[in-house]
């Protein structure tokens, strides 16, 4: 993949169809109000966002790790000579390896930010195989991953119809499948 193609890939914007679909989903599934741990109800987008941010940071922030447990784990792992696998890590990924990885993926999961599900890749494999393999190898071998593929979005799905606090939501991360 040439540099121009890579630059184009970095600049790629969603299609109008995806923008309209995203707006519709936001209107239908938007959270109109949320109650924080102090009992304050927030209705502004900023208040709702900050309430979820505080909730996620408090419940899913960094955890302390026992250094002795890490050392015990490392002690029980088999010793590997890095040079044994170095050549394998530098070779291109084959389309068969990608296809096997796609077939092993979990079905019927939410699509990523780009709207493409695993089923899209498997259903269209014969058409996209060469381009997809080239793209993945470019990212892997050139260590050049577009910034949009390094990020995900967190969506909060209500656990029930009457969801009032962040605890009443199931938080999931959407990542691009590729």
Exposure b/e, 145-155, CB count within 10 A at least 16 = b: ebeebeeeeee
Angle at the Cα of 88 from the Cα atoms of 91 and 74, rounded to 5 degrees: 140
Q: What is the pLDDT of residues 109-152, one digit of tens each?
A: 877 777 888 899 999 999 999 999 999 999 999 988 888 788 88
State percent of the chain over pLDDT 90: 37
Non-local (6+) Cβ contacts of 33 within 8 A are: 41, 42, 43, 48, 164
Instruction: Tell whether 148 is covered by a domain.
Output: yes
Residues 93, 133: contact at Cβ < 8 Å? yes
Confidence of residue 96 (pLDDT cuts 50, 70, 90): very high
Instruction: Tell whether 42 is covered by a domain.
Output: yes
**What range does the domain containing 141 cover?**
18-60+87-174
State percent of the chain over pLDDT 70: 92
Residues 169, 163: contact at Cβ < 8 Å? yes
Residues 154, 56: contact at Cβ < 8 Å? yes
Instruction: Tell whether 34 is covered by a domain.
Output: yes
pLDDT of 11 = 60
Averaged over 81-93, what is the pLDDT?
Answer: 83
pLDDT of 9 = 52
pLDDT at 100 over 90: yes
Instruction: Tell whether 157 is covered by a domain.
Output: yes
Instruction: Tell whether 1 is covered by a domain.
Output: no
pLDDT at 5 over 60: no
Q: What's the pTM value of the predicted model, to 2 decimals?
A: 0.58
Instruction: Tell whether 11 is covered by a domain.
Output: no
How many of the other CB atoms lie within 10 Å of CB of 30?
Answer: 9
Instruction: Tell whether 39 is covered by a domain.
Output: yes
Query: When comparing pLDDT for 132 and 4, which is higher?
Result: 132
pLDDT at 4 over 70: no
Number of structural domains (the chain) is 1
């Amino acid at each position: 993949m040439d540099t121009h193609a890579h630059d184009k890939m970095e600049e790629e914007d969603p299609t109008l169809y995806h923008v309209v679909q995203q707006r519709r989903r936001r209107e239908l599934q938007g959270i109109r109000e949320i109650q924080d741990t102090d009992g304050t109800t927030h209705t502004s987008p900023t208040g709702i966002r900050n309430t979820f941010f505080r909730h996620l940071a408090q419940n899913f922030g960094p955890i302390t790790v026992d250094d002795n447990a890490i050392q015990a784990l490392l002690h029980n792992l088999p010793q590997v000579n890095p040079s044994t696998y170095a050549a394998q890590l530098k070779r291109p990924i084959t389309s068969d390896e990608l296809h096997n990885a796609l077939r092993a993926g979990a079905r019927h999961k939410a699509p990523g930010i780009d709207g493409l599900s695993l089923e899209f890749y498997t259903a269209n494999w014969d058409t996209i195989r060469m381009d997809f393999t080239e793209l993945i190898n470019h990212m892997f071998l050139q260590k050049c991953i577009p910034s949009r593929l390094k990020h995900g979005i967190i969506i909060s799905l209500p656990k029930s119809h009457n969801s009032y606090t962040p605890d009443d939501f199931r938080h999931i991360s959407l990542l691009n499948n590729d």
